[in-house]
């Protein structure tokens, strides 16, 4: 069963769940993730996790999630420099890492990895169908959000027993 501090730290996950549908629709339609929906995840996560950390006194956990997010952001900014990722995807991945990193260091790695595998699978399928060509960009946001929801669900199921 999740502890009271872990339940507090789930608040930002609820925020992302609430904006997941509009984010996915906008990204699929316009190939962008608006800051007005992505960026609030950061202060919501930091505040709820800070309160959860004060309650639990587990400062290492807080430090790990912040560092995890910073690493994802730095890698994402480098990927953006080489036109591999859009900045909306970078900011969303950083927020996911911040939220998931509080619960386990490996959850952000799993969620982001699953998102890339799903997106790669869709690209391969679309290539074989002839609907896209090499060099075509696809929105990553829906895959990031889907893998985030799946990873959160997995964590909740494994910690509810």
Low-confidence ranges of the chain (pLDDT < 70): 161
Q: How high is the pLDDT of residue 3?
A: 85
Per-residue pLDDT reduced to its tens digit, 89-117: 999 999 999 999 999 999 999 999 999 99
For residues 67 and 80, the answer to whether their CB atoms sit within 8 Å is: no
For residues 147 and 108, the answer to whether their CB atoms sit within 8 Å is: no
State the pTM of this model: 0.94
Q: How high is the pLDDT of residue 93?
A: 98
Please list the alpha-helical segments (H only) found in 10-138.
Answer: 11-30, 35-38, 41-56, 59-81, 87-101, 106-129
For residues 16 and 111, the answer to whether their CB atoms sit within 8 Å is: no
Q: How high is the pLDDT of residue 161?
A: 66
- Overall number of domains in the chain: 1
Question: Domain span at residue 96?
Answer: 4-158
């Amino acid at each position: 069963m999740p502890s009271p501090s872990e339940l507090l730290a789930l608040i930002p996950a609820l925020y992302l769940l609430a904006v997941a549908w509009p984010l996915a629709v906008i990204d699929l339609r316009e190939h962008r993730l608006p800051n007005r929906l992505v960026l609030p995840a950061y202060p919501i996560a930091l505040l709820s996790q800070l309160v959860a950390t004060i309650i639990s006194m587990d400062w290492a956990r807080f430090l790990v999630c912040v560092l995890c997010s910073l690493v994802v952001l730095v890698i994402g900014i480098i990927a953006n420099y080489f036109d591999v990722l859009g900045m909306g995807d970078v900011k969303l991945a950083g927020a996911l890492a911040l939220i998931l990193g509080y619960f386990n260091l490996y959850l952000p790695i799993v969620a982001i990895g699953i998102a890339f595998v799903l997106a790669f699978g869709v690209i391969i399928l679309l290539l074989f169908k002839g609907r896209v060509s090499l060099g075509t960009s696809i929105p990553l946001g829906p895959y990031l959000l889907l893998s985030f929801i799946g990873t959160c669900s997995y964590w909740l199921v494994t910690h509810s027993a």
